[in-house]
Amino acid sequence: MSKKGRRNGFALGAAAVLALLMPAILAHNEYLISVLILILLNVLMVSSLRTIALLREISLGHVGFGLIGSYGSALFMMKGGLSFWPALLASGLLSAAVALALGYPFLRVKGIYFSILTLLTAETFRLVAFYWRGLTGGTMGLVGIPAPGPIALPVVGIVSFDETGAYYYLTLVTFAVCMAALYLTERSHLGFTWRAIKNGEEISQSVGINVIGYKVVNFAIASFFAGIAGSLFAHYQRSLSADFTSRFGVVTSIYLVVYMVVGGQGSFLGPAIGTIVLTVISEWARPMKEYQPMIIGAIAILVVLFMPGGLVGLSNLVKRKGRGPGGARGT
Amino acid sequence: MEILQIRGLTMFFGGLAAVSGLDLSVGKGEILGLIGPNGAGKTTVLNMIAGTLRPRAGRIALEGEDITRWPAYRRTRKGIARVFQRNALFHDMTVLENVLAGSHLHGTHGLFEIFYKRASILRQATLLQDRAMDILRFVGLDKRIGQVALSLPHGGQRLLCLAVALAADPRLLLLDEPFTGMNVEEVRNIISLVKVLRDERGITTIVVEHNMRAVLDLCDRAVVLNYGNKMIEGRPRDVIEDAAVIEAYLGVDDAL
């Protein structure tokens, strides 16, 4: 057990060092670093999507709460006069508050009905952002979103976040804190209760669990982190558009679910693995233009058919084989 | 003294009155059998007491407090726990985790307790584990704590259902056909457990059951329901020998 703990600690440390060195490894290539930032934000989105999936519900509108975070944060800074960090927190809280308000009616329905409701809600958010010219710039988009203000660090000196490399580190730190919070939440009493609810709502009620209450809190927590990811996205892009083909379209929500399923929703690391693998593949397939979604789709179908546990399940399989007689240790 | 008081309880399914104007009082520490032919409304009554069904009319009071409009989870907090007809368990969780989930109300307070005050939570977790182990020892599952609930045999799952219900520390226990599919030995075991609960902890039990032998051995009083109404009540022996009851059972084709 402690051996496993030490191995996990080592893996985590290695991942942290790798993440820190990544810009240098990529030779400070702006484009590649921007892909890295996008991966971090998507992992955060998919991991918080998985929080909802812990209750066996699939949200097809997670990006809607990212949108609230994006526009919220941008407007908190541009019109509310907040500086970046308060705006970041406030946008997460705003997203969570909207989820709290909507969660109560939404979570009375389950399964496909919940998915449809979330899908339509995200589209509604998008359309409001798209047409509310006075607030969001409407179809013109919201431009001139400030970057986080520069900070003075010991040793490094003044760091200005309108530079991609610096923004990567800011994203990485926030990402790490959020992932740790998600992980601890899942391992807490709260997470245990979610697991109980997933196992059976009727019996959960009968042992005194306020099922709807716990679901609403779950939805709000997941939306909080979607809001944070949205905020980080907004201040990186520096402009927002709620066009159908933008990041806030339905397609993104669907991709998030695909990342989660391909990675494996049964494990905390599944969403990260799915997001990283599929993002790298789709960036590689970018020159193929309209065939790009087909490649992702084909991978999703293959994984669902042959690896119901997702890519994470594959690593377990390799591990089990490796332990067998004469089997070589898998990578 | 009464723990549960039901007045004019009524429930319709479509146009059909499943329960109509039922009056029922249950004394503290009593073991009450609810019997009757299929479709008499027994489980419906149990569902309304547990709070999974909202009655169309009538009033349910627990120790004088009107709980008619309360959701199920709130009733559990006031001391009503139930064992479902099917083996409703946290199937993918271990035996111990099942009882810990059942102790939900005794763990942390409120929704927002997450990862603060680690030391006190750990102490509390140990307490809860000890308590869960006591309960599992009581029902005789303490040797199987690491087993996944679904992998237990039917009888074991029933005992685990009882353990989960007990984890909520109930004052009123609702058992829905606890003896279905059990052999004589297992039936006797559950009967003695329920009696110990009554004698040592003063737990009141309402049991819906078809197994008349078990009702005779277990219950202090029996109430016969037919067409959603109380037909007769009294000592189990008297009730079961009552001519009208026999007719109600036999009148409905091969009900027994």
Rounded to whole angstroms, the Cα distance separating B253 from B256 reads: 8
User: Is there a domain that residue B216 lies in?
Assistant: yes
A97 touches chain B (CB under 8 A): no
Helix, strand, or coil (residue A330):
coil
* Residues B132, B181 within the same domain: no
B73 touches chain A (CB under 8 A): yes
Q: What is the pLDDT of residue B32?
A: 94
* pLDDT tens, residue by residue, A106-126: 888 888 999 999 999 999 999
Q: What is the pLDDT of residue A326?
A: 39
A214 touches chain B (CB under 8 A): yes
How far from chain centre, in Å, is Cα B244?
27
pTM of the model: 0.84
Residues 6+ apart with CB under 8 A from B59: B5, B6, B7, B8, B9, B66, B68
Crossing angle for the helix pair A30-53 and A270-284, nearest 10 degrees? 140
Q: How many domains does chain B have?
A: 2
- For residues A63 and A121, the answer to whether their CB atoms sit within 8 Å is no
| Domain residue limits at B157 | 90-167
* Residues B254, B178 within the same domain: yes
Alpha-helix runs per DSSP H in B61-176: 72-77, 95-102, 118-139, 154-167
Domain ranges of chain A: 26-248, 250-323
A209 touches chain B (CB under 8 A): yes
* Residues B75, B175 within the same domain: yes
Rounded to whole angstroms, the Cα distance separating A75 from A145 reads: 8
User: Is there a domain that residue B85 lies in?
Assistant: no
Which residues, numbered 76 to 95 in chain B, qualify as contacts with chain A under a Cβ-Cβ cut-off of 8 Å?
76-77, 81-82, 84, 88-93
Q: Which residue of A has its CA nearest to B98?
A: A196
* Residues B27, B132 within the same domain: no
* Residues B188, B248 within the same domain: yes
B121 touches chain A (CB under 8 A): yes
Which string of b and e fits A148-171 if b means at least 16 CB within 10 Å? beeeeeeeeeebebeebebbbbbb
* pLDDT tens, residue by residue, A184-200: 888 888 888 899 999 88
Residues in chain A, overall count: 331
* Residues B70, B175 within the same domain: yes
- Main-chain phi, psi angles of B143, to 5 degrees: -90, -5
Residues 6+ apart with CB under 8 A from A253: A59, A60, A61, A62, A63, A64, A119, A122
- Which of B122, B151, B167 lies at the terminal end of a domain, its last residue? B167
Rounded to whole angstroms, the Cα distance separating B187 from B180 reads: 9
Lowest mean pLDDT among A269-278, A321-330, B157-166: A321-330
B1 touches chain A (CB under 8 A): no
Rounded to whole angstroms, the Cα distance separating B212 from B226 reads: 16
Question: Which pLDDT band, with edges at 50, 70 and 90, does A325 fall under?
Answer: very low
- Output the domain CATH number for residue B68: 3.40.50.300
* Residues B250, B174 within the same domain: yes
- Which of B127, B152, B167 lies at the terminal end of a domain, its last residue? B167
Q: Tell me if A189 and B165 make a contact (CB, 8 A cut-off).
A: no
* Residues B182, B66 within the same domain: yes
* Residues B184, B159 within the same domain: no
% pLDDT > 90, chain A: 43
* Residues B153, B178 within the same domain: no
Q: What is the pLDDT of residue A331?
A: 36
Amino acid at B203: I
* pLDDT tens, residue by residue, A277-288: 998 898 888 888
Give, for all 256 residues of chain B, the pLDDT tens digit.
Answer: 789 999 999 998 888 888 888 999 999 999 999 988 888 888 999 999 999 889 999 999 999 899 999 998 889 888 999 998 877 899 889 999 899 888 877 655 444 444 444 556 667 777 888 889 999 999 999 999 899 999 999 989 999 999 999 998 899 999 999 888 888 899 999 999 999 999 999 999 999 988 888 888 999 999 988 888 888 888 988 888 876 777 777 665 544 4
Which residues, numbered 44 to 63 in chain B, qualify as contacts with chain A under a Cβ-Cβ cut-off of 8 Å?
50-52
B177's torsion region: left (phi>0), alpha (psi -120 to 50) or beta?
left
Q: How far is B59 from chain A (nearest CA, A)?
A: 20
